[in-house]
């Protein structure tokens, strides 16, 4: 099975509402999507094409390569369709594999049962041909097989990523309520920031937005920080392809920038964590960190963007304090950030109203399951107060 050189359907998954930003990245790499949907993108390519996708994409979760599509009304038909696949040419009998799935079939009450059926078919097939079977389990750092089964339509994929691409491997210490790296990168892409003007991130927490901004500005991609992907554990893998793609990442990465990225937080711990994470990402020297109330954040005369991700209080009783904070954020933007574009990412629309400025855009996101918005404010002399305030 020549998966490394044979075209098939590729599905790149992402968190809900990130696909417009993922699409921009995929097209910038020279690929043409066949279809874009809320949680991903479909295109056509080989497993070798999946290698640059895995190394470059900031907004993706997994890159899946279709092995077979077939009709399966029940678990027996699923097993029969799977046992025919030449698994012995994909998974080394001395290797290790795991199964993930997205299942909606009337016979399946728990996805674990579907996973076991897939595992059985793979193991039975390889044992019948090779006399021995590979190990299997829950770890996703070796070969990973993904089942997509809706009603009687089954699709079996090689998950070429394994561990999610949505984490970018530099954040060793998460801090309080950190944004997922893929989400942070997507929100910055959504601002249309030019990557050459000031980027200010007050209330930076573990530094995710400032670090992602520095990575975007220097053209550094997540593949620089990761040396293991599931495609490396598929039989026929040629490591030269990986090293060539990794070399390209190193060659295009810039070392310096000619503008300021500023990250501040009221908590010394948060700044310590941010600096450590920035150091792991190799961008610590590009970010000016400071411990201060957000109101005291330096705002350089050369405008750019200011991006906030304040807490939005899912617990009761904290709202009064947060209402004041959101109002102060509005005042800070209005009084100190003229000429900038301001952004506030929040999951609480009532608190957002306290900012008291009229948003020029409200961009939809999810943070996990929580419906969120990125509010955009054009900050000029006559910036309008929101009449509701």
Ligand X SMILES: C[S@@+](CC[C@H](N)C(=O)[O-])C[C@H]1O[C@@H](n2cnc3c(N)ncnc32)[C@H](O)[C@@H]1O
Residues forming contacts to ligand X in the complex (CB under 6 A) are: 175-179, 202-203, 205-206, 208-209, 265-267, 270, 293-294, 309-311
Question: Which of 177, 104, 175, 99 has the alpha carbon at shortest distance from 144?
Answer: 99
Minimum separation from the CB atom of position 62 to ligand X (A): 22
The answer to whether 205 and 177 have CB atoms below 8 angstroms apart is yes
Minimum separation from the CB atom of position 292 to ligand X (A): 7
Cα Rg of the chain, angstroms? 23
The residue among 245 and 265 lying less far from ligand X, judged by its C-beta, is: 265
The first and second tokens of residue 60, run together, are 């993706």
E strand residue ranges, 216-360: 261-265, 287-291, 305-308, 341-346
Minimum separation from the CB atom of position 141 to ligand X (A): 25
Minimum separation from the CB atom of position 22 to ligand X (A): 20
Element (H, E) at 361: strand 361-367
The residue among 152 and 272 lying less far from ligand X, judged by its C-beta, is: 272
The residue among 134 and 202 lying less far from ligand X, judged by its C-beta, is: 202
The residue among 52 and 310 lying less far from ligand X, judged by its C-beta, is: 310
The residue among 295 and 389 lying less far from ligand X, judged by its C-beta, is: 295
Minimum separation from the CB atom of position 172 to ligand X (A): 13
Q: Alpha-carbon distance 93 to 72, whole Å?
A: 26
Minimum separation from the CB atom of position 194 to ligand X (A): 22
> Collapsing DSSP states into helix, strand and coil, what is residue 112?
helix
Minimum separation from the CB atom of position 241 to ligand X (A): 33
Q: Alpha-carbon distance 291 to 271, whole Å?
A: 7
The phi, psi pair for 57, rounded to 5°, reads: -70, 135
Contacts of 163 (CB under 8 A, 6+ apart): 140, 141, 228, 230
The residue among 21 and 294 lying less far from ligand X, judged by its C-beta, is: 294
- Count other C-beta atoms under 10 Å from residue 300's C-beta: 14
The answer to whether 310 and 332 have CB atoms below 8 angstroms apart is no
The residue among 98 and 348 lying less far from ligand X, judged by its C-beta, is: 348
Query: Which residue's CB atom is positioned nearest to ligand X?
Result: 205
Angle CA(70)–CA(77)–CA(233) in degrees, nearest 5? 65
């Amino acid at each position: 099975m020549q998966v490394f050189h044979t075209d098939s359907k590729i599905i790149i998954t992402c968190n809900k509402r990130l696909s417009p930003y993922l699409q921009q990245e995929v097209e910038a790499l020279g690929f043409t999507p066949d279809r874009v949907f809320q949680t991903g993108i479909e295109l056509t390519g080989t497993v070798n094409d999946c290698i640059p996708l895995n190394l470059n994409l900031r907004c993706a979760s997994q890159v899946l390569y279709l092995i077979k599509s077939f009709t399966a009304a029940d678990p027996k038909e699923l097993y029969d369709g799977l046992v025919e696949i030449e698994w012995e040419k994909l998974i080394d009998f001395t290797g290790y594999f795991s199964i993930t799935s997205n299942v909606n079939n009337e016979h399946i009450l728990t996805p674990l049962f579907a996973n076991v059926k897939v595992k059985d078919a793979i193991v039975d097939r390889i044992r019948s041909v090779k006399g021995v079977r590979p190990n299997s389990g829950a770890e996703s750092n070796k070969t990973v097989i993904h089942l997509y089964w809706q009603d009687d339509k089954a699709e079996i994929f090689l998950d070429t990523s394994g561990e999610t691409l949505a984490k970018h491997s530099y954040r060793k210490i998460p801090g309080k309520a950190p944004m997922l790296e893929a989400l942070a990168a997507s929100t910055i892409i959504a601002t249309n920031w030019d990557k050459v003007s000031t980027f200010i991130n007050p209330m930076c927490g573990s530094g995710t937005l400032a670090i992602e901004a520095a990575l975007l500005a220097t053209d550094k991609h997540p593949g620089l920080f990761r040396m293991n992907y599931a495609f490396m554990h598929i039989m026929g893998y040629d490591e030269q392809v990986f090293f060539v793609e990794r070399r390209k990442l190193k060659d295009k990465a810039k070392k310096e920038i000619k503008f300021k990225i500023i990250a501040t937080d009221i908590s010394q711990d948060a700044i310590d964590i941010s600096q450590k994470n920035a150091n792991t990402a190799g961008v610590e020297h590009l970010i000016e960190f400071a411990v201060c109330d957000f109101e005291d954040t330096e705002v350089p005369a050369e405008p750019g963007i200011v991006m906030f991700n304040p807490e939005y209080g899912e617990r009761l009783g904290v709202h009064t304090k947060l209402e004041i904070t959101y109002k102060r954020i509005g005042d800070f933007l209005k009084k100190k950030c003229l000429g900038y574009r301001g952004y506030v990412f929040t999951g609480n629309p009532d608190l957002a109203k306290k900012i008291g400025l009229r948003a020029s855009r409200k961009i939809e996101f999810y943070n996990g399951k929580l419906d969120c918005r990125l509010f955009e404010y054009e900050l000029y002399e006559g910036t309008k107060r929101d009449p509701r305030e």
